[in-house]
A and B are shown apart, each in its own frame.
Chain A
Amino acid sequence: MMMYRLLSNDMPRSRWLTGLLVVLVLALALTPFIFPGVKALNVAAKVMVFIVLVASFDLLLGYTGIVSFAHTMFFGIGAYGIAVATTRMGPTWEALAVGLGGALVLSFVLALVVGLFSLRVRAIFFAMITLAVASAFLTLASQLHEITGGEDGLTFKVPEVLSPSFEFSDEPFLGVSIDGRLLCYYLLFVTAVVLFLALLRIVNSPFGRVLQAIRENEFRAEAIGYRVVVYRTTSAILSALFATLAGAMLALWLRYNGPDTSLSFEIMMDVLLIVVIGGMGTMYGSIIGAALFLVAQSYLQDLLRLASDGASALPWLSALLSPDRWLLWLGVLFVLSVYYFPTGVVGRLRASSFGK
């Protein structure tokens, strides 16, 4: 069947999960028509960018079993590639191509060097070295003011067809004006779908099986005859390239990029949280996790504000529940989910459907 081929024979394997996924994908596809307003559209676009970003991280963490803290670095390289190229060369398609191509090459080289260097010694070095390289890169990006715009970042124009001022027709369709913004949204949607299916294809290929074998037992995989270093490094490079593409998607949508939007350590934490909550080693977890997390991000802050006001009689409790401290509760949630739900939402849903 067509569907099997598209999903690389890796079905959701749970009725609830399938239902949830269908609802989410439909909601993303129809957001411009069913949720009016700029904010909903922005959230939906961000969800799509994060689905690709998190899925690419899952390839590394969930399927290969190595932790990288430089994933936002590649995300940032993609975003900066678009931003710098369009600032320099004007809002043309060539600029986008040059920016994206340059970013992909840079990510490839960086991932290759870091991967070969640290994965050759021992996998645990990879976590520490990526952390060091990523923070050096962040410092560099905020200091090279002439190229990256420093802390202020870069605001740029995209090709006119994709900008909100470009109208395809004067007549609104189903109450939505058909403009460049809508085209840009669907460009992102199609890109996200294609990239996600490509990642699903990768993890279900023979190559992906080897990665999972390495994750389960490195020594045995090596003994069977697979070069562990080569497979791990390839996985790191692929994951970096997909993250770069996600970064380019983000830049295209926001028409702005700065250190805080794509490079910061907070985004790295968000990605880690989404992978763990959604379910490590299940590509579908990235869809569920990204949607849940980005919606909860604003919702949790509102909830905390209510709780904080409610607890105003106890100052210390109120301080603990203040909306500024939402990261604290996310951290607690993160630790608890690593302990009790290591397979995340997807793993839970699958387990409950097998139990029946």
Chain B
Amino acid sequence: MKSMDFDWKPLALVPLLALLMVPLIGSSSTWITLTVAGLAMGMIIFVIASGLTLVFGLMDVLNFGHGVFIALGAFVATSVLGAMSDWTNSDVLWRNLVAVFPAMLVAMAVAGAVGLAFERFIVRPVYGQHLKQILITMGGMIIGEELIKVVWGPAQIALPLPEGMRGSLFLGDAAIEKYRLMAVAVGLGVFLTLTWVLGRTKIGLLIRAGVQDREMVESLGYRIKRLFIGVFVVGSALAGLGGVMWGLYQQTVTPQMGAQVNVLIFIVIIVGGLGSTGGALIGALLVGLMANYTGFLAPKVALFSNIALMVGVLLWRPQGVYPVANR
């Protein structure tokens, strides 16, 4: 991607949407709060959606069971943080971080390991058959959700933010929750890492080449199946990380949360263009902002506004904002 022919138009959509909403919302401090909340939510959704869109782009596998890894990550985090309550109850920020960081790592490890099994037993037998993929991964999602209920119980569990991460910063009148800023930071970190890996390393080169033309990469002697397993595991681990962040954002986790977030993620990857990481980021930010603005203006139609957003984008670019070649 040379900077010369970089397609900036989709990028401009995000500030455009934010600015369009200023007159509708009225108060500028409310607008700042909502915008930051939207960006934070968008970043979390991006972390979850990036794995799914890569898996689709690389192997043409549409994983309806992605939501399981979100819920799994969040539930693992409740266990880890529960065991480290000494550290989370402290109001010193670095001690909280010491607790949250391993929670995220463990959640990613567990989600990645389960992703490995999921790929092996659920996805692999149905490569190349879209219809069966949709049915099978949906079945996998049900099984996963029920197993979570077996381990952690069917009720919702509170996942309180550690003491030091609560509260808000004030920018004039506008309240900005600290945790939202942290979510933006983590999301940006994931995005930059992904961009670096995809754009600057050998593995990234192979993944991008595989997205563009899988057979050509195979005929050059690379084992794309192995690459795919790696991407699937990383995608699941990212969903687990996103699950921890989503759980902390909502402060409760339920076994059904995966299915709820799934709907948003599908909108995001359709808007972004199936297989495109940059597109997923823009889609996620748009969806996050839209959800927060309409949640404030007209809560009943919040989900419809995101569908309307998707319809609008698809009318403009039927393959998503950043179409991936050959798909």
User: Which residues of A come within 8 Å of B, CB atoms?
Assistant: 61, 65, 67, 117, 120-121, 123-125, 127-129, 131-133, 135-136, 139-140, 143-144, 265, 269, 272, 276, 316, 319-320, 324-325, 327-328, 330-332, 334-335, 338-339, 342
| Across-interface contacts of A276 in B (CB, < 8 A) | 135
| Across-interface contacts of A127 in B (CB, < 8 A) | 62, 64, 134
Instruction: Kindly state whether residue B76 has any CB partner on chain A within 8 Å.
Output: no
Instruction: Kindly state whether residue B80 has any CB partner on chain A within 8 Å.
Output: no
Whether the pair A132, B135 counts as a contact (CB closer than 8 A) is no
| Across-interface contacts of A316 in B (CB, < 8 A) | 150
Chain B interface extent, by class: 35 or more
Whether the pair A136, B307 counts as a contact (CB closer than 8 A) is yes
Q: A121-B318, A125-B270 are in contact. Are A335 and B139 (CB under 8 A)?
A: yes
**What is the number of contacts between chain A and chain B, taking CB atoms within 8 Å?**
97
Whether the pair B266, A332 counts as a contact (CB closer than 8 A) is no
| Across-interface contacts of B125 in A (CB, < 8 A) | 339
Whether the pair A328, B147 counts as a contact (CB closer than 8 A) is yes
CA distance A335 to B136 in the complex (A): 6
Instruction: Kindly state whether residue B36 has any CB partner on chain A within 8 Å.
Output: no
Q: A124-B62, A334-B139, A334-B142 are in contact. Are A129 and B300 (CB under 8 A)?
A: no
CA distance A136 to B304 in the complex (A): 6
Name the one of B140, B147, B263 contacting A132, with C-beta atoms under 8 angstroms.
B263
| Across-interface contacts of A331 in B (CB, < 8 A) | 139-140, 142-143, 146
Q: A127-B134, A324-B154, A338-B132 are in contact. Are A135 and B143 (CB under 8 A)?
A: no
> How far apart are B259's CB and chain A's nearest CB, in angstroms?
7
Q: A125-B270, A335-B136 are in contact. Are A139 and B314 (CB under 8 A)?
A: no
| Across-interface contacts of A120 in B (CB, < 8 A) | 318
CA distance A295 to B318 in the complex (A): 45
Do most interface residues of chain A lie in helix, strand or loop, or is the interface mixed? helix
| Across-interface contacts of B259 in A (CB, < 8 A) | 265
Whether the pair A140, B301 counts as a contact (CB closer than 8 A) is yes
Whether the pair B300, A335 counts as a contact (CB closer than 8 A) is no
Scoring A117, A331, A332, A339 by chain B CB atoms within 10 A of each residue's CB, the highest score goes to: A331
Scoring B126, B131, B259 by chain A CB atoms within 10 A of each residue's CB, the highest score goes to: B131
| Chain B residue at minimum C-beta to C-beta distance from A118 | B314
| Chain A residue at minimum C-beta to C-beta distance from B125 | A339
| Across-interface contacts of A117 in B (CB, < 8 A) | 311, 314
User: Which residues of B come within 8 Å of A, CB atoms?
Assistant: 62, 64, 122, 125-126, 130-132, 134-136, 138-140, 142-143, 146-147, 149-150, 154, 259-260, 262-263, 266-267, 270, 300-304, 306-307, 310-311, 314, 318-319
| Across-interface contacts of B140 in A (CB, < 8 A) | 331, 335
| Across-interface contacts of A269 in B (CB, < 8 A) | 138, 142
Whether the pair A132, B266 counts as a contact (CB closer than 8 A) is yes
CA distance A61 to B146 in the complex (A): 25
Whether the pair A140, B304 counts as a contact (CB closer than 8 A) is yes
CA distance A320 to B143 in the complex (A): 11
> How far apart are B155's CB and chain A's nearest CB, in angstroms?
12
Whether the pair B300, A140 counts as a contact (CB closer than 8 A) is yes
CA distance A276 to B301 in the complex (A): 34
Whether the pair A327, B263 counts as a contact (CB closer than 8 A) is no
Whether the pair A132, B318 counts as a contact (CB closer than 8 A) is no
CA distance A330 to B306 in the complex (A): 33
| Across-interface contacts of A140 in B (CB, < 8 A) | 300-301, 304
CA distance A217 to B68 in the complex (A): 32
| Across-interface contacts of B311 in A (CB, < 8 A) | 117
| Chain B residue at minimum C-beta to C-beta distance from A67 | B134
Whether the pair B143, A335 counts as a contact (CB closer than 8 A) is yes
Whether the pair B319, A121 counts as a contact (CB closer than 8 A) is yes
Name the one of A67, A139, A332 contacting B143, with C-beta atoms under 8 angstroms.
A332
> How far apart are A232's CB and chain B's nearest CB, in angstroms?
14
Q: Beyond the given A65-B131, A127-B134, please list 20 additional residue pairs across the A-B interface where CB-CB is below 8 A.
A: A121-B319, A124-B134, A127-B62, A129-B307, A129-B310, A132-B310, A133-B307, A136-B303, A272-B135, A276-B135, A325-B149, A325-B150, A331-B139, A334-B135, A334-B139, A334-B142, A335-B122, A335-B140, A338-B126, A342-B132
CA distance A145 to B267 in the complex (A): 27
CA distance A332 to B132 in the complex (A): 15
| Chain A residue at minimum C-beta to C-beta distance from B141 | A331
Whether the pair B263, A135 counts as a contact (CB closer than 8 A) is yes
Name the one of A61, A125, A135, A330 contacting B303, with C-beta atoms under 8 angstroms.
A135
Scoring B138, B307, B311 by chain A CB atoms within 10 A of each residue's CB, the highest score goes to: B138
CA distance A286 to B304 in the complex (A): 33
Q: A132-B263, A272-B138, A328-B142 are in contact. Are A67 and B301 (CB under 8 A)?
A: no
| Across-interface contacts of A342 in B (CB, < 8 A) | 132
Name the one of B131, B138, B142, B303 contacting A139, with C-beta atoms under 8 angstroms.
B303
| Across-interface contacts of B146 in A (CB, < 8 A) | 325, 327-328, 331
| Across-interface contacts of A338 in B (CB, < 8 A) | 126, 132, 135-136, 139
| Across-interface contacts of B314 in A (CB, < 8 A) | 117, 121
| Across-interface contacts of B132 in A (CB, < 8 A) | 338, 342
24 A-B pairs, CB-CB below 8 angstroms?
Answer: A61-B131, A124-B134, A127-B64, A128-B62, A128-B270, A129-B266, A131-B263, A132-B303, A132-B310, A135-B303, A136-B304, A140-B300, A143-B300, A272-B138, A327-B146, A328-B142, A330-B142, A332-B143, A334-B139, A334-B142, A335-B122, A335-B143, A338-B136, A338-B139
| Across-interface contacts of B306 in A (CB, < 8 A) | 132
